[in-house]
Structures are given as C-alpha cells and as structure tokens.
Amino acid sequence: MRYTPIQKEIYTQNRQNLAKKLKPNSIVVLNANDLMPTNADGTMPFRQNNDIFYLTGIDQEESILLLFPDCPQEKHREVLFLRETNEEIAIWEGHKLTKEEAQERTGISTIYWLDSFKKIFHILMGKCEHVYLNSNEHTRALVEVETRDSRFIKWCREYYPLHNYQRITPLMHDLRAVKSSAEVNQIQTACDITEEGFRTILKAVRPGIMEYEIEAEYAREFIRRGSRGFAYTPIIASGFNSCVLHYIDNDQPCKEGDLLLMDVGAEYGNYNADMTRTIPVSGKFTSRQKAVYNAVLRTLKAAKSLLKPGVLIDDYHKEVGEIMTKELVDLGLITMTEVNNQNPEWPAYKKYFMHGTSHHLGLDVHDVGNWDNKIEAGMVFTVEPGIYIREESIGLRLENDIVVTPNGQDDLMKNIPIEAEEIEELMNNKAAVEVA
C-alpha cells in the first residue's frame, strides 16, 4: 500500500453516524465501483466508490457493504462481502484481503466471501422494512455508464418489490461534507505532495519547455512521494491556453512573455488536493500581468476570510462577486456604468470571471455536500478566483484549499508560494544556479 490508511475507528464512527440518520428497521447496501474496460482485455486503474470507502476504508474491487443496525442478530448489523482469493488470482493479480485483514482495516467483525451475498441478503430482507440504495446524485454528474450500484438497484427492486426504498445519497452528502481530523490530515498530505511538485516546477520552467514536460515533472514528484498520481486531469496552460478553463491538451510550447496557468493536485489515500498557480514563463511578470495577478490574489485572500461557520454558500459567492467587481473596475476591464446596468442573473464581472469561487474538496475533487446548508467547521473548500482576458491572452487563476475551523479557517496550502515577488525570486534563483 502506497499510503498510510486512516485508523479503523474513524470508519466505525462514520458507520455509526450514518446509522443515526436511518429510518428504523433499515438495510443499507453499497457496492464497489466496477473495473472499467478500455479495449480488448484492457482495464483502467481501479478507483473505489468513495461512499463505500468512506464507511470501510476498503480499496478493493467487487466489495459490498451491508448495514442493518436494527438486525436481531448482532453479527449481521455490519457485514462486508469480499471477493475470495486463491493461488491463481494471487499469481496474476497479487494479494487480496483476507477476512482477518479486512476486519483489522474496517473494524467490521462479520466478513463473508462474495458468493454468500444473495443467501445472506435474502434472509435479512425478510427482517427489514426500508432499503437504502446508492446512486450518483452530484449536481454536475453526467451519468452514462451503468454502475454496480445501478445494476443492483434494478435487481433488488425486481426481486423485492414490496419493500420501502430510500435514497442513501442525501445522507452521505451531509456526512461526507464535514471532515474528521484524520481526513483533513490525508488532504494535508496531498497538499504537501502538491507543494513539492510545484517547487520542482519553479526550477524547471523556461521558455521553450513543452506543457507536457511540466505535466511529466509533476507526475514524477507526486508518484515518488506516495501518491497514485494526479487527483484529476491536470491543466498545464500557457499563453492563450490559460484562457480556456478546462484546457487539458497540454501539448504546446511555453513562450517568452507567456503566463503559465497550472491547475494540478496530488491524490493521497483516495483524498485530493486541488491547487492552481499562474507563473511567468520568463521568470518575471510584466507590469500588466502583475497588476492582474495581484487583483486575483487580493480576491483570494478576501474570499478565504469569508469562509466561516454559519455562512451560506450562495451569500459567500455573491460577496466574492462584489470583491471581484471592484478589482475589474480598477483594472479598467469593466465600468461602473456596466455594473449599474448589469443583469443580476449574469453580473458584469462574469465577463472576466465566469466560474464559481469554491467547491467542496475531499474524496472527490468536486466533493459532495448540500449547497443549501450553512458552512460548518470541518468542511474543506477550494478558493479559486480568476481573471481571464482573452483579448490579452491573460488567463490568471490562483487556488488554495481551506478547512473551516470553529473560529474561521486554516489554509492547507499556506506553505505553497503564491506572492508574485516570491514566485519571481524562486524562478530567478533557479536561473542563477544554472548559470553558475
């Protein structure tokens, strides 16, 4: 295992927290993700379903978690089903969890092999009234591939049509939005690995380097430090590419005078970092680039200070929009006349800052959470304002990851260079060493 796992007591507590939210006499079933095919006999690297991982810490395919808190038989109140291994599987695929290892990892006492699931499930369905099943209800999800959970929903409703079916997703969104200190530590490690990658890049960037060479340097640093790699497809965008919000081709040369926008993050133990930095390819910002840079940085600092318990996310985004509006007026990009006559549904600042400022961060990069709820201590958010001036080929975004505390917030990326002068100094020190 590449990462140090969270202690099993955290997963036990997560299951207990979920049990408190269930209707009486309820069963919960969550399935692992599929191994996704590529072509022929190829498969993509396995990525566990984050809900079952949150409740068990199990990072293995074909796993099923069954919870029945009110079951008359105590041993069936928490049950984990695993794929049974054998000598041939061990030869071809490597080690799979034993029952004893799964008990130690999860804190679940009752472990069965997967071929026992239908028999055990049938017995327990005769004792319960409500059945909670899982689905992907992220507001930005485009679900076109049928998952193990979705196939199970069809099967379960066909064979057991008279039970009361419930959605587990809203409950999981509420629980996962607030991180334990152990989860925050995993995210912090992912941020620290990301920092090492960024500091390496500051020494490597020069006019003529290809965007994909920079991507490769990040990947090298992330993997050698215990990460499985990027938390998401990285954006390495130079020049006009920096104005394309989800640019991922990463195949162009970085030119003298260009800005280089890098939206990257390392993954650690299934938890994610999400960082954006924008640096000058030549090692020094032009006066215009620095003016825009500092406007974005001021907005980031102001936005961070607004993330406090009790704040509504919608209100937070409106306040950030007002801060950005002033910055854009000062830069001469919009006028007060445009502001006074703006459409409230699409304010004037949206011409140059068209995306949101923050999203939940955790097991998913765009992590789950109820956007109608107030901010609570333990929530982790990105803060990522940007200004994109396509007519000047200036795309500038800065992003840090913030955990909300009872009295304010803590910046998990506070050690990653972000001030314009520090960026220039680190890049130019690199150049001096190379010349020497």
Handedness of CA 106, 229, 241, 397 (dihedral sign): positive
Q: Which run of H or of E encompasses 189?
A: helix 181-204
What stretches of 194-338 adopt beta strand conformation (E)?
235-238, 259-264, 267-268, 271-272, 275-280
Q: Which run of H or of E encompasses 199?
A: helix 181-204
Rounded Cα gap, residues 297 and 51, in angstroms: 35
27, 29, 68, 170, 251 from 153: Cα distances, Å:
13, 10, 17, 17, 42
Tokens of 195: 């920092």
Rounded Cα gap, residues 153 and 29, in angstroms: 10
Handedness of CA 139, 143, 148, 151 (dihedral sign): positive
Of 119, 176, 134, the closest CA to residue 30 belongs to 134
Q: Are 138 and 367 in contact (CB under 8 A)?
A: no
Could you list the active site residues? 41, 246, 263, 274, 355, 359, 366, 384, 388, 397, 399
Tokens of 76: 């069936």
Encode burial over 107-121: b for 16+ CB neighbours within 10 A, e otherwise: bbebbbeeeeeeeeb
User: CA 293: distance to chain centroid?
Assistant: 25
Q: What are phi and psi of 424, to 5 degrees?
A: -60, -45
Query: Largest alpha-carbon pair distance within the chain?
Result: 78
- At position 120, the amino acid (one-letter code) is I
Rounded Cα gap, residues 205 and 400, in angstroms: 21
Q: Are 11 and 115 in contact (CB under 8 A)?
A: no
Q: Which run of H or of E encompasses 15?
A: helix 8-19
Return the CA Rg of the chain: 24
Q: Which run of H or of E encompasses 272?
A: strand 271-272
